[in-house]
Amino acid sequence: MSNGMMRRWFEYDYCMSLMLALFTMTAPAFALEEIPNAADMPGLLRVADSVLIGYRQRAAVRSEIPTGPWKKNGWTTSIQAEGQCSQWLYLAPPQIDSLEVIRHYQEALVELGYQSIFQCIDFKKCGKEVAAFYYDAAQGKQFTESYLLKSVYSEGSVKEPRIQVVQRRNTEGESYIFIFAAYQDNYADSQAGERVAVFIEELRVSTNQTQSKPEEKPQFTESVAENTALFPVLSAAELLRDLTANGHAVIYGIQFTDDQATIRPEAAAQLEQIARLFNEQPKLSVYLVGHTDNQGNFNKNLTLSTQRAEAVMQLLIRQYRINSTRLSAMGVGGLAPLTTNANDDGRARNRRLEIVAR
């Protein structure tokens, strides 16, 4: 090859390399597109600025709704029934975490009259491989219309999983809603990754269709008039975040029997996270402050809020071995509302326990 031909070859090769580099730098990722002719579930609007990337509705299908954590290849307990099934798959805005997503939907579910039958946070409570309910196509919940949809909750990329399952009964039958929210990456498209994905399933069945797995009982939570709001359990990390940023953390995950200081069994998940916080922060000391709404007698509410705070303190000391010098309990009744007491939702928000840093 002559020197002139060689020079022209190198010039051509350089230009092609430069063009390729420029294309690589400027070419955008695939745009996330809203599913056409689809809408949110009535009354259960999406988190603001979320994108609906998957939707389907089937008139009659057999589906499985979890009532317990994931273990190996399936849910430890579940409801299996046939009925009308609708499923939605959203991508939340990048700045939103799974806690904010779940709280958004829980507030809407309260307004719709649903009751919680199962909720969990993190892999310890939800199951180490919980995202397999979606990415394992054999489970029947994966959207398969595109590689992008198949790659939601890409295996090994999921963080901060949260589940909320609720139930509502009426004369026509039962309605179940299963919500899974988790931070995830997406191997198909960078725009679809590094954000929370939200899977929602609604199953409407007649009463005689409902079945649980053989030899397993669904873990139903009874309706509690004093605790109708659905609020997630806060993890130890989230408790520490709130204490650091605000000086206090608001707890709704500890439930009590109506008008009593008896702690209900489902409070165990939140108590475990509080105990974990103390174990991870050996210098932490706090006040446990009980709050009520403004209904009923003022002095009775003041006494009840104090008794509830003391009940939590004693349980942390006896069962979780937290040093008593790190805990103080008191109640303020309805003297420090977070919001209005004029409606059920406001009163539910005002009935709470707060952890205040000392």
- Residue 154 or residue 87, greater confidence: 87
Residue 26 falls within a domain, yes or no?
no
User: Can you tell me the distance from the alpha carbon of 116 to that of 110, in angstroms, rounded to the nearest whole number?
Assistant: 9
Expressed in angstroms, the distance from the first to the final Cα of the chain is 82
What is the CA angle 80-86-88, rounded to 5?
115
In this structure, the answer to whether residues 255 and 352 fall within a common structural domain is yes
User: Across-strand partners of 75?
Assistant: 70
Q: For residue 153, give its domain range.
A: 51-212
pLDDT of residue 191: 77
Pick the last residue of a domain from 212, 242, 257: 212
Instruction: Assess whether 258 and 183 both reside in one domain.
Output: no
Pick from 142, 177, 212: which residue ends a domain? 212
Contacts of 199 (CB under 8 A, 6+ apart): 87, 88, 89, 134, 141, 152, 153, 178, 179, 180, 181
Sign of CA dihedral 181, 112, 81, 142: negative
Question: What does the alpha-carbon distance between residue 263 and residue 249 come to, in Å, rounded to a whole number?
Answer: 19
Query: Do 63 and 206 share a structural domain?
Result: yes
The total of structural domains in the chain comes to 2
Per-residue confidence (pLDDT) for residue 231, from 0 to 100: 62
- Residues 257 and 191 reside in one and the same domain: no
309 or 156, greater pLDDT: 309
Looking at the chain, how many residues does it have?
Answer: 358
- Which pair of tokens denotes residue 308? 């509830």
Question: Would residue 273 count as lying in a domain?
Answer: yes
Both 313 and 340 in one domain: the answer is yes
Return the CATH number at 321: 3.30.1330.60
Is the pLDDT assigned to residue 23 strictly greater than 60? no
Q: How many helices (H) and strands (E) does the chain have?
A: 9, 13
Element holding 265 (H helix, E strand): none
Burial of 286 per CB tally in 10 Å (0-12, 13-18, 19+): buried
DSSP class of residue 187?
Answer: T
Q: Is residue 58 part of a domain?
A: yes
Q: What is the mean pLDDT of residues 139-161?
A: 89
- Indicate whether 77 and 194 sit together in one domain: yes
Domain contains 41? no
3-state secondary structure 94-116: CCCCHHHHHHHHHHHHHHCCCEE
The reply to whether 21 falls in a domain is no
Q: What is the DSSP letter of 334?
A: T
Q: Does residue 150 lie within any of the structural domains?
A: yes
| Same-domain status, 259 and 114 | no
Q: Are residues 142 and 252 in the same domain?
A: no
pLDDT over threshold 70, residue 81: yes
pTM for the complete prediction?
A: 0.60
Are both 94 and 152 inside the same structural domain? yes
Say if 327 falls within a structural domain: yes
What's the pLDDT at 30?
A: 43
d(CA 260, CA 304): 7
Whether residues 208 and 336 share a domain: the answer is no
| Residue 240 pLDDT > 50 | yes
Beta partners for residue 127, in sequence order? none
In the three-class reduction of DSSP (H, G, I as helix; E, B as strand; rest coil), residue 153 is classed as coil
User: Maximum distance among all alpha carbons in the chain?
Assistant: 102
Average pLDDT, the chain: 84
Whether residues 151 and 230 fall in one domain: no
Domain stops at, among 188, 212, 236: 212
Domain assignment present for 312:
yes
Same domain for 229 and 205, yes or no, is no
**Residue 213 binned pLDDT confidence (cut-offs 50, 70, 90):** very low
